[in-house]
Amino acid sequence: SQTIHQWPATLVQPVGSPLSLECTVEGTSNPNLYWYRQAAGRGLQLLFYSVGIGQISSEVPQNLSASRPQDRQFILSSKKLLLSDSGFYLCAWSLQGRGEKLFFGSGTQLSVL
């Protein structure tokens, strides 16, 4: 069966520090991968998606970047965090061609202070 792992669960970082959130998927090959963010009082917003290794599409301009160094690994990064980067970050995957059903990770609560 397929599983998705996302870590850490919570993170408190000072403004200006770097960020690295990691997500891995097991039990499937060549998935579509996504990073979503939920800011306080707002809906889930798609940040990045990837249909293959090294292929990253950004949905909104921001202080963050994503990378996919391996087929089932998706990393969300920042060189210098801003206060506005605080939020709940969710990694998700879907089967190629079956993107209507997303499988979400457990999320990372990021607080930038």
Residue 90 is a binding residue for other proteins (CB under 8 A)? yes
Contact code string over 56-85 relative to other proteins, x by CB under 8 A: -x-x--------------------------
Cβ(74)–Cβ(7) below 8 Å: no
Comparing CB distances to other proteins, the nearer of 13 and 65 is: 65
DSSP states of 35-82: EEEE-TTS-EEEEEEEEETTEEEESS--S-EEEEEETTEEEEEESS--
CA pair distance 15, 112, nearest whole angstrom: 6
* Total residues interacting with other proteins, rule: CB under 8 A: 30
Residue 44 is a binding residue for other proteins (CB under 8 A)? yes
Residue 35 is a binding residue for other proteins (CB under 8 A)? no
Q: Which residues bind other proteins (CB under 8 A)?
A: 4, 32, 34, 36, 38, 41-46, 49, 51, 57, 59, 90, 92, 94, 96-107
